[in-house]
Structure 1
C-alpha cells in the first residue's frame, strides 16, 4: 500500500491562495466565538470615572453587564471584527507561509529564526489592515457606547478626530503583535512537531499546541495591550490626560501613574481566557481548511 502523504507537505499549485483562504476562515471563526470575553477585557482595561463601569473580574463583569445592559451588549461591535478579520487573517497566513518558505522554515530541523521571522512579518501586514476595525470595535464595546453600527462609528471617529485616530495605536499594535506572533508561531511549531512528529493531520495536536502558544504570548504582551486600549478609546474619555495621549509611551505613563504596576495587568485574565481557546480554534480551523482545500 502506498504511504499516506504528509498533508502539510502536499505540493499545492495555488499554495498562497490556499493559505490565505484558510487563514480568512480561521480568523473569522477565532474572533466571533470568543467575542463576549474580548468585550469584557476591553471594559476592564479602560479607565472609567463611573464606578458602574469598574469590574473586579470576568464573572463580575459578565453578570453586571448582562443584567443591566443585556447579553447583546457583549456582542456590540462584532460586525467590525468579522468585516476586518477575514481579509486581515488572509494576509497574515499568506505572508506567514510565503516568508517561512523564503526563509527556509520548511526545511528539516529546527528553524527557529525562520519561523519567528515569518510570524513577525505576517503581523505587520495584517495589522495595517485590521487596526481601524479594531479601533471601531473597542469604541463600540465600551460602557454606554453611543454607536450601534460600524459605519456610524467610523464616520463619527473620522469627523471628530481625523484619520490619525484609526492609526494612533498602530505602533503599539505592532509592538504587541510582533512578539505575540513570533512567540505564538514558534511555540506552536515546536509543540506541534513534538506532539505530532509524523505530521499527520491531528486536530488534538493543533488544539493543544495552538492554545498553549496563544496563552503564553497573550500573558507576555498584556501590558502593551492595556496601552493600546487606552489609545484606541481615548476619544471617549473625559480625562484630558488620556484624551491627549499621543502614543505608546504616553499611554504606559498614564497607566503607571493612575494604577501603579497592577495597571499593566488590567484585563490579563480575560485576555488569556480569550486567547487560549481562540488561538486553539484558529490553528485548528487553519489546519483543517488548509487540508480540506488542498484535498479538493
Structure 2
C-alpha cells in the first residue's frame, strides 16, 4: 500500500476536523480550570463548590479559529512527520547483528519534534485566539443561542481578536506551545508506535488479524490514547504555563489592559465579557509564570486539569490518529484499486 503526500495531508486534515468537533468542550473546560481567573469565576467559595452554570456555559467558544487553522496545521504535521521519519529511516545505518545504529524510538521522537516545530508555528495564532475566546463570559440567553448552533460562537473569536493590537501578539506563546508539544510528542509517538506494533503482532499470533480498516482504527486508537494520556499527565505543568501565557497575550503592549473588574452586559455583542488575566503590558517568561502558579497553589496548581487533560488527550489522540491511520489506509487501497 502506497500513500501520496496528498493522502497524508487529507487524512491528517480530516482527522483534526473530526476530533476538534467532538472533544473541543473538554479542551474549553481544561483551559478554564487552568486559568488564573478560575477561583474568581468558576469556583463559588461560599458554597465551596464549582459554579457549574458558568463553567459549562459556551463550551464551543473559539472553535472558529481552530477549524480554520487546525486543518493546514495538522496536514503540515503529518506530512513533515512521515517525510522526516522516512528520511531518517533510509539513512539510518545498521550495526552488527542487523540492529539499527539509531533506535527507532529515537527516530520517531526526532521526526515528531521537527513536525511539531512546523505545526506549532501555524497553530499558535489560532491557539491564542481560542484560549482567549474560551474565557469570554456569556449571558444565559446568548449561551442558549450558541448551543443551538455552535458555529454562531465564531462571533466570540472575532470579539477576542479585537483585543489584539499587533499581529505579533498572536504568536505570543509559540515558545510555550513548542515547549509543551515537543516533550509530549517525544514521549507519545515512540510509545504509540511501539504499542501499535505489539498489538498488531499479538493479533497476528492469535490468528485474529484481518487487516481491515476497523481493526487498524481500533488498534491505532487504543495505542495513541494510552500513550497520549500518559504523556499528557507528565507535561501538564508546561501546559498550565502555556495556557496562562496565551491568556495574557491580548493584554500585552499597553498598561491600559491591566487587571480590572468587568461587568456582564446584555445583548449579543455586549454579553461577551473578556475575562482573561492582563499583565499591564509586561511579558513574563515561562519560568516566571511557573513560579507564580507554584506560589499561588503549589504543585496542585501546576497539575491543575491533569485528569481532565488525560481524558481529553486519550479521546482526542485515539480519535485523531485512529481516523488518520484508517483514512490513510483507505486512500492507499483506493489508489491500488482494492476498494
Question: What is the TM-score of this pair, normalised by structure 1?
Answer: 0.84
CA RMSD between the two structures: 2.7
Aligned residues, how many?
275
Q: Shift in Å at residue 207 of structure 1?
A: 1.5
Which string of whole-angstrom CA distances, capped at 9 and with x for unpartnered residues, describes residues 165-202 of structure 1?
21221111111111111111111100000000259352
Larger Rg: 2
Distance (whole Å) between structure 1 residues aligned to residue 107 and residue 39 of structure 2:
47
Q: Is the contact between residue 220 and residue 322 of structure 2 (CA under 8 Å) also seen in structure 1?
A: yes
Q: Select between 96-105 and 246-255 the one with higher mean Cα deviation.
A: 246-255
Distance (whole Å) between structure 1 residues aligned to residue 234 and residue 242 of structure 2:
14
Residue of structure 2 equivalent to 1:249: 287
Structure 1 stretches lacking a partner, 5+ long? 1-9
Q: Shift in Å at residue 133 of structure 1?
A: 0.2
Q: Is the contact between residue 169 and residue 247 of structure 1 (CA under 8 Å) also seen in structure 2?
A: no
Distance (whole Å) between structure 2 residues aligned to residue 293 and residue 76 of structure 1:
33
Q: Shift in Å at residue 121 of structure 1?
A: 0.8
Q: Select between 112-121 and 245-254 the one with higher mean Cα deviation.
A: 245-254
Q: Secondary structure at the match of 1:74?
A: coil
Q: Are positions 1:123 and 2:137 aligned together?
A: no
2:175 to 171, 175, 178: 171
Q: Secondary structure at the match of 2:137?
A: coil
Residue of structure 2 equivalent to 1:11: 2
Q: Secondary structure at the match of 2:77?
A: helix
Residue of structure 1 equivalent to 2:266: none
Distance (whole Å) between structure 1 residues aligned to residue 51 and residue 24 of structure 2:
12
Distance 1:240 1:86, change over 3 A: closer
Q: Secondary structure at the match of 1:246?
A: coil
Residue of structure 2 equivalent to 1:204: 218
Q: Secondary structure at the match of 1:158?
A: coil
Residue of structure 2 equivalent to 1:94: 79
Q: Secondary structure at the match of 2:37?
A: coil
Distance (whole Å) between structure 1 residues aligned to residue 218 and residue 198 of structure 2:
13
Residue of structure 2 equivalent to 1:225: 239
2:107 to 114, 117, 135: 114
Q: Secondary structure at the match of 2:195?
A: helix
Q: Shift in Å at residue 82 of structure 1?
A: 1.0
Q: Shift in Å at residue 23 of structure 1?
A: 0.7
Q: Is the contact between residue 12 and residue 74 of structure 2 (CA under 8 Å) also seen in structure 1?
A: yes
Which string of whole-angstrom CA distances, capped at 9 and with x for unpartnered residues, describes residues 97-143 of structure 1?
00000010798975111111111111110010000000110111115
**Greater helix fraction, Structure 1 or Structure 2:** 1
Structure 2 stretches lacking a partner, 5+ long? 93-98, 140-153, 252-257, 260-276, 335-339
Q: Are positions 1:75 and 2:60 aligned together?
A: yes
